[in-house]
Chain A
Amino acid sequence: MLARERFAWVQLTALVLIFGVYFPVFSMMQGWQPGPTFLQQIGVLSIALGLLAVIVLVDRMRTWFGPERKVKPDERDRLIEYRASAIGYYVLMGGVLYVGCYLPFVATDKWQIVNATLFFVVVAEVVKNGLVVLGYRRGLRG
Chain B
Amino acid sequence: MAERRFTNNIRTLRFLSNEMTQAELGERVGVTRQTIAAVESGKYSPSLESAFRIAEVFGKPLEEVFRWEA
Interfacial residues of chain B within 8-35, with CB under 8 A of chain A in the complex? 30-32, 34-35
Q: How many pairs of A and B residues are in contact by the CB < 8 Å rule?
A: 36
Point out the residues of chain B lying under 8 angstroms from A76, CB to CB.
Answer: 31-32, 34-35, 38, 44, 46
Q: With CB as the reference atom, state the residue of chain A lying closest to B29.
A: A74
Determine the interface band of chain A, counting residues with CB < 8 A from chain B. Answer: 10 to 19
Contact A142 B35 (CB under 8 A): no
Q: Is A67 part of the contact surface with B, judged by Cβ < 8 Å? A: no
Point out the residues of chain B lying under 8 angstroms from A77, CB to CB.
Answer: 32, 35
Q: Which of B6, B35, B43, B45 contacts A74 (CB 8 A)?
A: B35
- Among A2, A76, A142, the one with the most B-chain Cβ atoms within 10 Å of its Cβ is A76
Contact A140 B46 (CB under 8 A): no
B41 to chain A, nearest CB (A): 8
Interfacial residues of chain A within 118-139, with CB under 8 A of chain B in the complex? 136, 138-139
**Residues of chain A having any CB pair with chain B under 8 Å:** 2, 71, 74-77, 136, 138-142
**Residues of chain B having any CB pair with chain A under 8 Å:** 6, 30-32, 34-35, 38, 41-47, 50
